[in-house]
Structure 1
């Protein structure tokens, strides 16, 4: 704690936000005066937050009490001294500190997404491999709306007008929201978030931010924090930023594309590349693992009912696990680059995915393919949108069933995580089914 205490004092911090990510990627925790935080040195939270849905409900009792103590005990949260961030939008000088979670015996909590990612990274460490990732986050800016039954609309830009039509890569369209993005970049720089290029995407007021490549745990933390940072910047400018996978009808969905490569931990060389510069067997094994296991771990890439709306026909999202060189219509794209930078881009994850779980799942799929020496299909040629891999589930219900039947999820990530995550997502699916949609009222109310 000495390093952390020194940082808090040097930055004149008065409040500390102690946070962990729940299964849905929501920040849970406590806000404490800095003196109390220093004196106690750790935080406690009830175990129940680990099985809480995005709606605030809990899973059914049979799962709840099978995975958690009946007395609803606390688990222990300890600050990670390398995950400390200065919040630039607060009135008081406030630090946000990501915590790791443990039981009373000091064992990592299996249900915590950050621990899930750490477990996968340990597998790589044991092979003397070091993964490198670079996320790309798509999102929409929308006008503020208090009624969730009303469709979202584009916000008013500097010109005083709403954006219309397709504005892919338009500089002027992105500049409509310059004041917001200036705050976003400044606030990210203050926190040390490694964001890079800003791009206007295909949808109306849809943008993309690229992160610089780096350590998977650090990048997962940064994506987790970036979502909150962007939302705060948007609220300051009277608009809304959303990472919903498919927030607007007939507009493209939002993805979290993951670029991933593996280097030798001792030499720093890319294990995807042979000495002569050609693609290695480990590279092909990694692709094959992604092809085989993405369908079985899809709920970690597409975690919500809304996620699967992005996979509907004509939505610009590749609904397949094909791979191809420089082919954005494939679920797995191999960018054109130097041999040392050889990597795979997983284009299946949605922007709504929990960054820890999406990165963990993507790396785990590739890892299994590497250690089992799996072989990929031949690379796809031409337009891949029409290639709808029959093994890819297209509803959350079907995806959860496939995940439940995947032995590798429990084997590598733990049985408690597998049962808990599936139970949380099934509870959310059940809650969704209880809501009568506007489509049903419009087309069924007076016709059936």
Structure 2
């Protein structure tokens, strides 16, 4: 078994020697629970004299020395953690025992990550990215212990994030979920308060959208073999990942309704939507004949990419984006696919057709009205029309100005 106690005569205390393979050197640990391990008993000759060592120092009596017993306990702890690491149950770091630059936040976060492996692939991938790029480097630089994390620590963590406001919020909420786990596991007494919302400097992006005629001009130049999935996205206001994952069995041929129950997460097909809720939406009347036809064709996926190489020939977000960009170039437009389809269709309902926000919420199946408020920001032309609705009453005043 690795490691062994060493007696340091110049300081009259015990240390544990442990060979670190990464550093290629012998590391000494001289404290157990923050305290040194002093020699408390020495061997004696017959007649009462102490035995002398090589440097004329007294020789410790291991059987009666409390310091040696503490050293054995410390060695057992280190060896136990090392054995756990060999079995893959944890990560071994000698810094846990030297206390030099060590924080228990990093190994406990790694343990927490393992409990999240069943999350949606994109969510799990995000958690790992936040940890690797921001959280781990921060706690390596500032080795604070888990129970010591308070608002001032979180403020410093937030300050270290070189991200957009939304990106900062995502990292901090990931860390909040981690602390919530630690609190429920009784590793900390409470979850410290987090920075306030305004501290993240989140800028709500302005919705970019196209009026109907410009949106349709893009759809018309998409190759005919790819058009069905794009018209589905225009009329049904769903996420592209949900359209890629839509199965034929998710369509009710009799009642003409879709059940949106699948999505694509980190390029993997998952059996739940982004919100983990199923959505039942009717098929638009203009698309019923086409959808009925597609639903009765061979294959599992409703929309199949004839150029796809993967099994099932389903579309991917990447392939849809490529097709969309090519069509935008031909139509003389410059807008991303999500804005050109979902954002545009939702904005058209509000700004062109005069639909109420509550009605749009019903169509999109959003849980909260706040989620569709962004579409109520009308275009400049519509604002001008509303502002000038009563301009006739100012005609006399305008003549005076002239």
Taking structure 1 as the reference length, the TM-score comes to 0.23
> Which one has the largest radius of gyration?
2
| Bigger share in helix | 2
| Bigger share in strand | 1
Taking structure 2 as the reference length, the TM-score comes to 0.25
